């Protein structure tokens, strides 16, 4: 599986994603600078976590205007899988590749902790190695992870099986609508989620619950 990780100014999880991808696929991903206008031929594009452009405007808003995002959109429309993690999820909503917005956490505090999640949808290329209802733990680290969309959009996401991860019942860290932690686009080839699966791919880092996500993609795309 060939992959690329987009690097924005102030990204701080691009290397984490690259390490996880290389360990699982055996191949180093392409590291693509935000100012580039083309992407290599890859099977997976990762928009990593971090604080692109220092979050000086609205999280993900400036990154969404980067040259490379035109190419990311074209690739996604052609069916290439795109995974947006944390700030990457914010970029995906800012570019309307995913519906909804990510607002300040309900408690107005940055949250950084291991977070229990429920796998809601296992029928996707990203979650095929999980079971629906399975409980996993991924770290979260964000100040603007409060997912919001109108009721019609939320109903559609849930009705179409596009809500992939929810925060475990009673453990919503940011006030997200309906406990949503991760969603798919309509074509189901773009996933955005606030928790960090790339940080739990090695027992030395505290867990391996995220490994199945990348292994599922590898089985699908290799």
Domain that holds residue 198: 3-220
User: Any idea what the CATH number is for the domain that residue 140 is in?
Assistant: 3.40.50.880
Which region holds residue 50: left if phi is over 0, alpha if psi is between -120 and 50, else beta? left
Bridge-based pairing of strands 44-47 and 81-85 is parallel
pLDDT at 133: 97
Catalytic-labelled residue, pool 13, 142, 196, 201: 196
Catalytic-labelled residue, pool 94, 118, 121, 198: 198
Q: For 207-215, which contacts have Cβ atoms below 8 Å and span 24 or more sequence positions?
A: 207/114, 207/137, 209/136, 209/137, 209/138, 210/20, 210/136, 210/138, 211/20, 211/24, 212/129, 212/130, 213/126, 213/127, 213/129, 213/130, 214/20, 214/21, 214/24, 214/25, 215/24, 215/129
Rounded (10°) CA dihedral 154, 156, 161, 167: 0
| Low-confidence residues of the chain: pLDDT under 70 | none
Structural domain count of the chain: 1
pLDDT at 165: 98
Note the pTM of the prediction, 2 decimals. 0.95
Whether 86 is catalytic: yes
pLDDT at 134: 98
pLDDT at 206: 87
Catalytic-labelled residue, pool 13, 34, 59, 86: 86
SS3 call for 190: strand
């Amino acid at each position: 599986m060939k992959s690329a990780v987009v690097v924005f100014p102030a990204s701080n999880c691009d290397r984490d994603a690259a390490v996880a991808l290389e360990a699982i696929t055996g191949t180093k991903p392409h590291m693509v600078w935000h100012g580039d206008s083309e992407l290599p031929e890859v099977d997976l594009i990762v928009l990593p976590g971090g604080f692109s452009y220092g979050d000086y405007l609205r999280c993900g808003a400036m990154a969404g205007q980067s040259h490379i995002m035109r190419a990311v959109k074209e690739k996604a429309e052609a069916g290439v899988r795109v995974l947006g993690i944390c700030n990457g999820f914010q970029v995906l909503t800012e570019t309307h590749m995913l519906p909804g917005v990510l607002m300040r956490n309900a408690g107005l505090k940055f949250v950084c902790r291991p977070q229990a999640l429920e796998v809601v949808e296992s029928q996707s290329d990203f979650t095929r190695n999980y079971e629906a209802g399975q409980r996993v733990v991924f770290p979260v680290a964000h100040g603007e992870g409060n997912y919001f969309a109108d009721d019609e959009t939320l109903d559609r996401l849930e009705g179409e099986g596009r809500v992939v991860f929810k925060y475990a019942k009673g453990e919503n860290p940011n006030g997200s609508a309906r406990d949503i932690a991760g969603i798919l686009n309509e074509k189901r080839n773009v996933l955005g989620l606030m928790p960090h699966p790339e940080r739990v791919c090695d027992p030395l880092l505290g867990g391996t619950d995220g490994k199945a996500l990348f292994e599922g993609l590898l089985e699908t795309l290799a």
